[in-house]
Amino acid sequence: MIRINENYTKLKASYLFSDIAKRVSAYVAANPAKPVIRLGIGDVTEPLPPVCVEALHAATDEMAKRGTFKGYGPEQGYAFLREAVAQHDYAARGCKIEADEIFISDGSKCDCGNIQEIFAQDIRLAIPDPVYPVYVDTNVMAGRTGASIDGRYQGITYLESTPANGYVPSVPNVATDLIYLCFPNNPTGAVATKAQLEAWVAYAKKNKAVILFDSAYEAYIRNPAIPHSIYEIEGARDVAIEFRSFSKTAGFTGTRCAYTVIPKSLMAYDAAGNAHPLHALWNRRHTTKFNGVAYPIQKAAAAIFTDAGKQQTSDLINFYLANAKLIRDAMTKLGFSCIGGDNAPYIWVNTGRDSWAFFDTLLEKAQVVCTPGAGFGKCGEGHVRISAFNSRENVETALTRIAAALK
């Protein structure tokens, strides 16, 4: 008889954002006259930069002519985009990343979930708490964890991010093999200093471990002392894979384009201790299971790196950061301790109460959707995440409603 992958039965009953959607849908159905403002899921609201739209149109026109039509492209991405990424995102910051070390994909969520396929099943995991659920859930699906007991899966070293450490976890006192880090962090909005990242690189080198560094929100960093890439740290090429996305940088959540960087010097080992380049393993997996991002989308992504594209994306990010400042200032004025919102589009609010109860209060009394911190892990309890991704009018209206509801 056909059997299931029983690791799926270990997963929590539902995905965080599915739970939120169900609660919001039920509320809207019961209260059709009360419009809801969504500051929960991190989806952008503003249109694509004009240069990207122009590039999309031009590339679409190319697809309409036999002489310029494109069929299957290279699975790793077109050279014009990989070279632009290497030059503008890495060389410009002093990072030695070659174009052929960059793999274009349809989303960093996909890459963060898929990358674990190239590693052994019995490796030791280090994952932050609170955390973006994909890191944990995909490893549960792969069979690397035990059951969930008291909200935590057996077999994971949880890296606690709390008010006590500024929501930036320190290296653990046990050896691990695969380490997930995300800065600027989702959900907390916290950022890591160069010294903090140096400690992680040193730890990875000592333990022959690999860091999976999710920097999807690096474009929001405004503090010049904060690294944008793990590769700004000496030696990181030998221990780290980096994920980036155009989703929040240029509003590509609906058009889908991202990339993963795997240096050729990065090695992992077989059971006999022989070294294998992860670049080659990922290339094999990538070309086997992925057909590449559509040509018009890659042309639109490349437009971001033009002078006009840089200015337009910077304006877009500044718009969301202005929303974030309004949110953080308003929540601070209401007496809550907050981080994020200065170098990230998320504000992590220490509510001092049950996070789902706080979610329900904002939904029912203010018609505002946030994200309960408990959905991101045990250390998220007592917090909520508020997203800056919305129109200025909606953010201002939401803050007025929240203030009234929490009086």
Q: In whole angstroms, what is the distance from residue 103 CA to residue 316 CA?
A: 25
Partners of 212 in the β-ladder: 180, 241
Q: In whole angstroms, what is the distance from residue 86 CA to residue 71 CA?
A: 25
Domains annotated for the chain, with CATH where assigned, are 6-47+308-405 (3.90.1150.10), 53-306 (3.40.640.10)
CA atoms within 13 A on the CB side of 210: 23
Confidence (pLDDT) at 16:
81
Enter the tokens of residue 223.
């503090």
Percent of the chain with pLDDT over 70: 100
* CA 39 to the chain's CA centroid: 17
| pTM listed for this prediction | 0.96
> Which residue shows structure tokens 């080198």?
205
* pLDDT interval class at 407 (50, 70, 90): confident
Q: Are 25 and 159 in contact (CB under 8 A)?
A: no
Amino acid, res. 253? T
Enter the tokens of residue 403.
């203030």
Strand 156-160 and strand 125-129: the pairing is parallel
Q: Is the pLDDT of residue 26 over 80?
A: yes
pLDDT digits (tens, 9 = 90+) for 79-119: 999 999 999 999 999 999 999 999 999 999 999 999 999 99
> Which residue shows structure tokens 């022989």?
274
Q: Is the pLDDT of residue 128 over 70?
A: yes
* CA 287 to the chain's CA centroid: 23
Q: In whole angstroms, what is the distance from residue 272 CA to residue 319 CA?
A: 53
pLDDT digits (tens, 9 = 90+) for 329-347: 999 999 999 999 999 999 9
Q: In whole angstroms, what is the distance from residue 376 CA to residue 384 CA?
A: 10
> Which residue shows structure tokens 């070293």?
157
Q: Are 341 and 324 in contact (CB under 8 A)?
A: yes
Alpha-carbon dihedral angle through residues 167, 171, 175, 178, given to the nearest 10 degrees? 60
Q: In whole angstroms, what is the distance from residue 284 CA to residue 12 CA?
A: 32
Confidence (pLDDT) at 220:
98
Confidence (pLDDT) at 13:
63
Q: Is the pLDDT of residue 14 over 70?
A: no
Average pLDDT over residues 351-380: 96
Average pLDDT over residues 15-20: 82
Confidence (pLDDT) at 42:
85
Q: Are 140 and 13 in contact (CB under 8 A)?
A: no
Residues 107-136 as b or e (16 or more Cβ within 10 Å = b) = bbbbbbbbbbebbeeebbbbbbbbbbbbbb
Among 68, 51, 50, 67, residue whose Cα is nearest residue 59: 68
pLDDT digits (tens, 9 = 90+) for 182-225: 999 999 999 999 999 999 999 999 999 999 999 999 999 999 99
Q: Report the mean per-residue pLDDT for the chain.
A: 97
Confidence (pLDDT) at 105:
98
Q: Are 347 and 328 in contact (CB under 8 A)?
A: yes
Percent of the chain with pLDDT over 90: 96
pLDDT digits (tens, 9 = 90+) for 32-65: 999 999 999 889 999 999 999 999 999 999 999 9
pLDDT digits (tens, 9 = 90+) for 144-164: 999 999 989 999 999 999 999
Among 314, 282, 267, 320, residue whose Cα is nearest residue 102: 282
Q: CB burial class (10 A; 0-12, 13-18, 19+) of residue 47?
A: exposed
Phi first, then psi, for residue 221 (nearest 5°) are -70, 125
Confidence (pLDDT) at 380:
97
Confidence (pLDDT) at 18:
83
Query: Out of 1-10, 37-46, 171-180, 201-210, which region has the weakest mean confidence (pLDDT)?
Result: 37-46
